[in-house]
């Protein structure tokens, strides 16, 4: 038996990526076998190679598309630096909350990338950090922020925000909106003069 009724490339391709995303996030890249991805899709392992040249590309493509989408959606914001920073905080928390698997992978599986692929991903991540750093620098120029080194502050803020997706649960004590409000306040306080 080969080729189950009704199946097409346009359906299976995304399902392969979705299964890989879920399993990589759950167990880690190295612990997930191509066979387990195939099983999740409901296909034999050989069929996966119609959709990816190899396992490494599967990981890389997931990371790259996540970061490219992140960059495409992250605007530079409007208003003064404080407004723009508040907007960035809300955007980051909400965007990452909606894509916990992709976030997890993008932060945890960097060491499983080949050197060339790592450079690409690192470049994208750096571009995202630059969006925040530009806001912080504008605030310093305005005189409304009082941070000594904008690069450090950028990393501190991003680490703080990204941490949310490691513990926040919809079923928990607080709504995402509560969390967002408190983080906005903490971040704005952290960088003020």
C-alpha 125/C-alpha 107 separation (Å) is 10
Q: Does 18 bind DNA (CB under 7 A)?
A: no
Using CB under 8 A as the criterion, what x/- string covers residues 159-178 for binding a copy of itself?
xx-xxx-xx------x---x
**Which position among 14, 27, 49, 152 is part of the footprint of DNA (CB under 7 A)?**
49
Q: Which two tokens stand for residue 169?
A: 């649960």
Q: Which of DNA, a copy of itself, none is residue 8 near (CB under 5 to 8 Å by kind)?
A: DNA
Of the two residues 28 and 181, which places its CB atom closer to DNA in the complex? Answer: 28
Phi, psi of 145 (to 5 degrees): -110, 150
Q: Which of a copy of itself, DNA, none is residue 71 near (CB under 5 to 8 Å by kind)?
A: none
CB distance 3 to 46 below 8 Å: no
The DSSP line for 127-174 is HHHHHHHHHHHHHHHHTSB--S-HHHHHHHHHHHHHHHHHH--TTSSS
Under the rule (CB under 8 A), what is the footprint of a copy of itself? 26-28, 30-31, 108, 111-112, 147-149, 152-153, 155-160, 162-164, 166-167, 174, 178-179, 181-183, 185-187, 189-192
């Amino acid at each position: 038996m080969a080729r189950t009724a009704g199946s097409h490339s346009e359906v299976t391709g995304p399902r392969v990526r979705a299964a890989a995303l879920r399993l990589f996030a759950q167990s880690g890249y190295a612990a997930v076998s191509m066979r387990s991805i195939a099983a999740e899709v409901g296909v034999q392992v050989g069929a996966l190679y119609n959709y990816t040249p190899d396992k490494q590309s599967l990981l890389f493509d997931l990371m790259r598309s996540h970061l490219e989408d992140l960059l495409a959606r992250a605007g530079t914001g409007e208003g003064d630096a404080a407004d723009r920073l508040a907007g960035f905080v809300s955007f980051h928390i909400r965007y990452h909350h909606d894509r916990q698997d992709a976030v997890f992978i993008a932060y945890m599986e960097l060491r499983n990338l080949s050197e060339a692929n790592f450079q690409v991903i690192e470049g994208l991540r750096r571009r995202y950090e630059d969006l925040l750093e530009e806001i912080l620098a504008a605030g310093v120029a305005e005189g409304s922020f009082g941070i000594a080194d904008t690069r450090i502050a950028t990393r501190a803020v991003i680490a703080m925000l990204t941490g949310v997706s490691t513990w926040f649960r919809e079923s928990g004590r607080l709504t995402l909106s509560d969390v967002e409000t408190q983080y906005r306040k903490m971040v704005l306080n952290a960088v003020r003069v």
